[in-house]
Structure formats: structure tokens, C-alpha cells
Chains A and B, each alone.
Chain A
Amino acid sequence: MKAAVGRGVPVALYLVLILVPLILALERLMFVTGVNPIQAILHLDEHPFGVDAVVFTFVQAILSATLTLMLGLPIAWWLGRYEWKRIGIIRAALTLPFVTPTVVAAMGFLAMIKQGGLLDSIGIDLRNETGVVGSFSSMIGVEHSGHIIALLLAHAWFNLALVIRFVEPKISTLPPRYENAFRMLPIGHSRLNRLTQFWWPMLRTSILSAFVFTFIFSFTSFALVRWLAPNMWTLEALMAVEGGAAGIPGYRVDVSVLVLGGATLQGLVLLSALAFAGRWQQKQSNEIELVSENFSRKYIGKPTTVPRIGVVVATVYALTPLFLMVLSSVRIRNRTSESYRWSLDAWDYAFRGDLTYASIPEALTNSLVYAGGCLVVSCILGFFVAQSIHNLEQNGQARFAQLVDLLSMLPLALSGVMVGLGVLLGILKIWPVLFSWYALPILPHAMLTTPFVVRILLPAMREIDSSYDDAGKVLGYTTMQRFVRIKLPLLKPQIVVAAALSMAFSLGEFGASWILMRSGAWDTLPVLVDQLMSRPKYFDLVEPIAMATATILMCMTFLLFVIAERFRSHQGGGF
């Protein structure tokens, strides 16, 4: 009984943390606008950019997800089929973009497409849309098509890892005898039949899941849209920029309608997408037994020329923006002469904080404090939520377990900006003094990362054999002793992964932080980068300083990624 209450408290606390700010924010917006959330969707056209933002959000998300699959599927196929030397390093390099903070990704792509950048130097000017890109724009009659192409490429770059993570393990761990048996049948003689009748049914759940998650991330993308397609609006970007005026009675009601309708529409779309993905993933689990990836790879053998070239190109594609970003922090363009010089001046300025309110050490300290706080809160809450769901499942209360599981995933259906606005408007109502509390950003960060902790720990808990607990009992261990000496060590790899990822997500979190802190002593590294990029570029070091700050953020994130990668299991094909 005590244990049940002990577990129930963190679950209740977590649900309160998620739901209360959102419900209060919703109530405030409904009061200000006088319409309910569904009506607000129908009134989105009251805002001058509302309808355009909805259309562009859907179009770019679908195109991004399609492009990501087109680029990612061949790579996943080649990686999964053949025996690669140093597969761990290749896989880590291809996964890097996904753990890269979106602000860093935006800086990396800017470094690649800017005037004098790599693409510009070979005649592809996506930024100012001159030359080939300009002609292409005029031909198809789409304004800012260069920006849109850059955005789609960046989304594909960012989400490539998702396709690989979902699909590649499915291919590499499938016992070769299945394919051999199919090839022996008359229907399996043709390559097309093997693709449509064998591989598609085997891989479709993973492919569709990858598509849905890429769609979700592109749908809620903010930093990339803000910096790569500055003339285009997605719902997320529009809500973030306009959101500061929402929730004030009698002032800019169209903005409140936009936030209420946009958030509702976004929530509905994301929830539906997550429900589809969840259903497919449920189908995917336990369909077939798997073998060691090395066994399956050895069976096919070493890669031929085309896969080799493909994987090399993909790896270069994954690393180039990051490399160019680092380079841009030391390669400084003279505003007058169009020439470049090599210098560490930008790093010097960045560490002194001469152009910003906070210097790199100050912003890094803030980022680390918030990430540390987020780690503690999300790991503790996530652990107990996962434990409660697992206990309910074991006690035969499957439906209640599903309900708690669904509620725990709710923040996955919310974007950073939505959570930031929820906290902003919700806290404003119940306890405005919290806005001067330094630790406030930990709340939205923990809201956004706890579902990931639950998703990492819950499958691990399900996999632990109950005989370990039984053995602890017959050795005379109390519940607490079994928890500390048996359960925690068994879950240690997943706890490390969850802790590292929640820290990494918090370090790179931009949308909610941007809403809540703007500028001041709380600035985190992503907010600092955004501040710098928003400044006029009269001073030639402004952009290199932003690149230097983004480089520090990238290094911190990659360190955590390496830690997580050391403990991550590569079996199964999941997130």
C-alpha cells in the first residue's frame, strides 16, 4: 500500500505538472478570445498569416518527411545489409544530426548556404536565390523556393538518423533464412516481387513510423524555419513570434485566437500522428524473432561500390554543415573587401560576452544548471511513471496502464513553443512571481524530456526477468534493498541513456526557452546564438561569434551523445 502511494505521488505530480499549466493557459485564451479551441481553428484566418502558416506547415512537413525517406532508406538498406568496418562509427556519424540542437543545425546550414559559403561557391545560391536557383524559382513560380529547398534539405539532414534508427536494425537483425525461404518460392524469383511482397511487409511499420516522426519534427520545427526560411511562416514559428501578445484581454485578440487555434490544430495533428505511430510500433514488436546484427551482415558480406559511395556521401552530408559551422567561427569575412581572414577573435569576444548580455561561460553555466535540473526532475518522474505503468501491467490493470501511458506521452504531442506558451500563460495566472524564479525553465524542459525517459525505461523494465526480484526476496532483501542493489544496477544502462539524452535535449531546447527568457541573466546557449544572429551584421564578428557559441553547444551535446551511445542497444529498431 505504502509503495503504491509512493509511486502514485510522482505520477500525480507529473500529470499535474503537465496538465495544470496547459489547462490554465487554455482557459485564459478561451476567456480572452471568447471562442472554444475548435472554433479558434476555424478563426485562424483572422490573423494575416494564419492560413498561409497552416498550409506551409503541412506542405513542408510532408515534403520533408518524403525527402528524408528518399534519402534515408537507401542508406539504411546498405547499412543493414552489408558487413561494414567500423559500423559503430559510421552509425554514430549518421546519427549526429538528430542529436544536434536545432539552433546548431540552423547555424551549420547557414554556414553552408550563406554568401561565400560552400554551395554559393559552386553556383548554388539558396540564400539570395540568384543564378540557377533564381531561374528555378521563376520557372516553378514559387516565391523563396531557395529558402524552401534549404529548409527541406535541413529537415532531411536532421531526421536522416530517424529513418536509419527505425529501419536499419530491422534489416540487420532479420534472420537470413526468411529471405532465403522466400527466394525459393516462384513468387520470390523476381527482385520487384521480393521488394513488394517480402521487404515491404517486413519493413513497412518501421518505414511508416520513421515517416510519422519525421513529419512530427518537421511540423514543429522552429529554429530551422526561423533562420533558413525567414520569409515563410509555420504555425510553430508564427506562434512563437506572436505569442508574447497572447492572453491579454482586449489586446491583439487575433494573436490569442492564433495561439489557441494553432496550438489546438497542432496538438490534434501530433496526437493523431503519434497514435498511428504507436499502433504501428505495437504491431511491429514481437512479430518475428531477431538474430545478432553481425550474423545477418556476415551472411551478405562486404559492400559493393555503389553502397560504399552512398554511405560515404551520406556521412559527408551529415558532417559537412557541422564542420562548416566550426570553420565559420574562425574564418571571418571582411565586410568591405569580400575577402576572408583566419582569426580566433570571435572566440575571444564570445568568451568575454562583449556583444551579448551573457558570455559563453555564463550561458553555458545557465544551460548546465537547467540541464542538470531537468535531468534530476525528468529521470525521477520518468522512472516512477514507467514503474507505475509497469506495475499496473503486471497487476492485470492493462487499461489503466494504457491510460497512464497515453497521458505520459502527452508532451510528445506538444512542441517546445506550445509548452513554453503553456507555462507562460498558465503560470501567469496562478503564480506570476515564478517569472522571476531562475529555475523556471527547468519546468518546460522537464515536461518535454520526461516522456523520452518513460519511453526508454519502460521497455527495459518490461524486459527484466521477475526471477531477479524473486532471488532478492529469498536472499532476504527488503523492497528498498532490492530496488537499490538489484533493480537500479539492472537498469543502469537505460538510466544512463535517459539521463544523457534528457540533458542533451535540455541543453539544445530552443522553443520553450526562447518564449520564456528572451534576453537576460538566464540566457542559455541556444538563446544566445539566436540573439547574436538577430543582431545587425555591421560588425564582421557577429556571425562568427554565433558560430563559436553554437560550436560549444554542439560539443556539449556530442559529449552526452557519446555517453548515451556507449550504453544504447542496437537491437529492435526503435527510437
Chain B
Amino acid sequence: MSLTIKQLNVVIGQYHILHNLNLQVKSDEIVAILGPSGCGKTTLLRTIAGLQKQQSGTISLNNQSIQDMLCEHRGIGMLFQRPVLFPFKDVLGNILFAYQNKKFWNRDDVHEVMNEMGLLGKEQQSIETLSGGEAQRVVLARTLLTNPDLLLLDEPLSALDVNLRRKIAHEIRAVLKSRSIPAIHVTHDIAEAEIIGDRVLHWKELQRGGDDEE
């Protein structure tokens, strides 16, 4: 699966956040985008996911145009800055949110992904008792079970301490590579970007005219 963005423009209110932005993510590639807070990184990811309206430009996933699709039909997974877990469900309940019809959940897949994320034994645990790192692992496990064509990582580790951030960054990279999921990871932490990304792009370069791969 590859992603191609051409001439993307996003205006929010009176602010022109994304200006003729171009970006290419190859099949199985993880692109890290580095930029300061408030520069528009999150807006870019939300636009790709379909959570933010765009004014013009095209977004194609595996050569199929998706910019007019609803978010829920795009097949894109996303990890937000703050882990979004549903407070009325325990760990397993949150992970099973990956299945739109709970009747069809696959026990082996769930067991495998929970094992991979180090969550076995925490199935019945309340999400309020999870640490920040564990919470993001639950979200990642849930997202992986949806088999996304592309994963968007919106500074998911920013709330963690440095050591844990490095550790989970390595884990995320390993998981994505083992499943061959292409991803865009935005962050303001150079070290984190270098750990996760196959390629690191600076926001200024993107805004100047586009992806250096073009």
C-alpha cells in the first residue's frame, strides 16, 4: 500500500495551514515528519484520515483516490497524541472495539496482538489503572486488529518519559515492519523520529514544495 498526496490545501478559519503540500509514502515505508508544535502536523494527519476537510488537492491510497471518502471507509488507522480509550470498557473490551461486529472477533488474532504488545494477563484490567505507555499499547493493539492500509501516528509518545518513549518507539517500529504496514509518524523529537522512521522529513521542506522523494 502506498500513499500519494498532491497539492494539498487546508484552510481552517482564516489560517492557511497546509499549502500545496506533496507527500509520498511507499509501500511498507515509515515516514517520520519532524516539526515544531502548532506547525500543522496534526492537521495533515487528520486530513489524510478524513477527520479534517481539505480545500483542494488529491490523496491516493494505493493509486485509489480517497479524498472524497468518509473517514470510516478509508481503511486508515490512527494513534492520537492522547490515547483514546473508552472508559466504560476494560482492556479487552477496548481492544475488541476493533471489530464492528463483536460476534466475529478472532480469538487467535486478539491473543497474538495482545502478546505482541505485552498485554496478556491485563484483559480485565480497568483502563483507569493503566500507565500512559500501557494505554498507548492498548490503542495500538486495537488499531492493528483493524488491519489498516496505513497507520498515522500523531505524537503518540509525547506524554511519556524519555526512556519509555525510546523503548516504545522501537516496539512500534518492529510491529509495523513485521506486519508491513506503511505509516506516517509526526513528532517534534528528533531521536524518536530517527528510531521509528525509515526516512525523516522536516516540516519546512514539506511546506516549501514537497516531499524530497518526488
Contacts and interface: CB of A to CB of B under 8 A. Distances in A.
Contact of A470 (B51, B87, B89): B51
B50 A473 contact: yes
Interface string A462-487: 00010110111111111001000110
Interface string B45-57: 0100111000000
Nearest to B89: A489
A468 B84 contact: yes
A279 interface: no
- With most chain B CB atoms within 10 A of its CB, the pick from A465, A467, A486 is A467
A537 interface: no
Contact of A476 (B51, B82, B87, B100): B100
Interface stretch (B69-77, B122-130, B160-168): B69-77
Nearest to A465: B84
Nearest to B80: A467
A476 B88 contact: no
Nearest to B77: A474
A468 B86 contact: yes
A478 B72 contact: yes
Interface in B29-78: 46, 49-51, 70-73, 75-78
B84 A470 contact: yes
B92 to A, nearest CB: 15
A517 interface: no
A492 B88 CA distance: 9
A269 interface: no
Main SS class of interface, A: helix
Contacts of A489: 86, 88-89
A490 interface: yes
- With most chain A CB atoms within 10 A of its CB, the pick from B70, B71, B76, B77 is B71
Nearest to B98: A475
A486 B143 CA distance: 16
Nearest to A468: B84
B198 to A, nearest CB: 23
B137 interface: no
B78 A474 contact: yes
Interface string A438-481: 00000000000000000000000000010110111111111001
Interface residues of A, number: 18
A472 B73 CA distance: 12
A467 B135 CA distance: 15
Given A467-B80, A486-B86, A477 B49 contact: no
A486 to B, nearest CB: 7
Contacts of B84: 465, 467-468, 470-471
Contacts of A485: 97
Given A473-B51, A475-B142, A476-B72, A467 B82 contact: yes
A474 B84 CA distance: 11
Contact of A477 (B77, B100, B143): B100
| In the A-B complex, the 7 residue pairs with the closest CB atoms | A471-B84, A473-B71, A474-B78, A489-B88, A467-B84, A476-B72, A473-B72
Contacts of B72: 472-478
Contacts of B87: 490
Interface in B142-170: 142-143, 146
A7 B172 CA distance: 42
A468 B85 CA distance: 8
A476 B75 CA distance: 7
Given A467-B80, A467-B82, A481-B100, A474 B71 contact: yes
Interface string B85-116: 01111000000011010000000000000000
Interface in A163-204: none
A490 B85 CA distance: 11
B35 to A, nearest CB: 21
A470 B82 CA distance: 12
A474 B71 CA distance: 6
Given A486-B86, A489-B88, A471 B80 contact: yes
Given A473-B51, A492-B88, 13 more contacts: A470-B46, A470-B78, A470-B84, A471-B78, A473-B72, A474-B49, A474-B51, A474-B77, A475-B77, A476-B75, A477-B100, A489-B89, A490-B86
Contacts of A481: 100
B54 to A, nearest CB: 16
A259 to B, nearest CB: 49
A278 B82 CA distance: 34
A137 B68 CA distance: 80
A216 B51 CA distance: 45
A475 B146 contact: yes
B88 A490 contact: yes
A476 B78 CA distance: 11
Contacts of A468: 84, 86
- With most chain A CB atoms within 10 A of its CB, the pick from B72, B75, B78 is B72
B156 to A, nearest CB: 12
A474 B76 contact: yes
A478 B69 CA distance: 12
Nearest to B101: A481
B181 to A, nearest CB: 14
A485 B94 CA distance: 11
A478 B87 CA distance: 20
